[in-house]
Amino acid sequence: MPARSSIQCLNSNRLKMIAIVSMLIDHGAVVLIENRILGGPFDYIAAQTSETIAFWWNVNTVLRLIGRLAFPIFSFQIVEGFIHTSDVKKYAKRLFLFALISEIPFDLAIFNTWFYAQYQNVFITLLIGLAAIAAVHKFEAEQSLWKQAAAMALCCGGAQFLKADYGAFGVFFILLLYYCRRDARMQTILGSLALLWEVTAPLAFIPIRMYNGEKGNKKWQWLFYVCYPAHLLILAGIHRVLP
């Protein structure tokens, strides 16, 4: 086993915490600034005539840019989770359970309704990404390129059809990290190039490359899962009680 660099100081729990803080900042901006203060999609013309709107839009932009770090880290964790789990089916069931639990809180917080069919929470994306990795892994062992390609197309198409967060790109990105799992430099380069459309998202590879391969305390595992629907419910509640 190669010696670890001195900068590899983040275990899985610490890496997830960075992603969660980034996610909280991102969703807080969406719910409390975009949806409440700005009242929906940005109106450029209105911003030119209102210093208040312009100020809050700038604040929102900064917070959303910070929030772009979350998805790449969660995607990396899915790859690591697949590699190290002793039971992929159990892992998938856990993701599926929290995908169901999180959908109403997600819709309430982000879309201000109990049910919004046009967009699904990120657990759906992560679940499909895990399924894609499992399929590709199986077909790698069979040395079947066409089956790998078919699995990729099916899973990416499924994410797009279900309107999961990040859609087909989200599953493609998870697969990209999986295929580059043995080459950290290539994973960083290709992953960063794939994320350039989100400007700050490639910065997620800084903490990712600080990952030391250790899990950390298992007692935190469920907290990270519960945090997603819990923070969405809290944000939805704040949105409703504010005057």
H helix and E strand count, the chain: 11, 0
Instruction: Copy the structure tokens of residue 137.
Output: 């892994």
d(CA 200, CA 238): 28
pLDDT 10s digits, 64-86: 999 999 999 999 999 999 999 98
pLDDT band at 44 (very low <50, low <70, confident <90, very high): very low
d(CA 201, CA 127): 21
Instruction: Copy the structure tokens of residue 155.
Output: 């899973």
Q: Which DSSP string corresponds to 108-165?
A: HHHHSSS--TT-B-HHHHHHHHHHHHHHHHHHHHTT-HHHHHHHHHHHHHHHHHTTBT
Q: How deeply is 86 buried, as exposed, middle or buried, from its count of CB atoms within 10 A (0-12, 13-18, 19+)?
A: exposed
Q: Are the beta carbons of 85 and 134 closer than 8 angstroms?
A: no
Rounded mean pLDDT of 118-124?
Answer: 96
Percentage, residues of the chain above pLDDT 70: 93
Question: Mean pLDDT score of the chain, rounded to an integer?
Answer: 92
Contacts of 48 (CB under 8 A, 6+ apart): 54
d(CA 27, CA 63): 9
DSSP letter, residue 182: T
pTM score, two decimals? Answer: 0.91
CA 172, chain centre distance (Å): 13
pLDDT 10s digits, 166-204: 999 999 999 999 999 999 999 999 999 999 999 999 999
pLDDT band at 1 (very low <50, low <70, confident <90, very high): very low
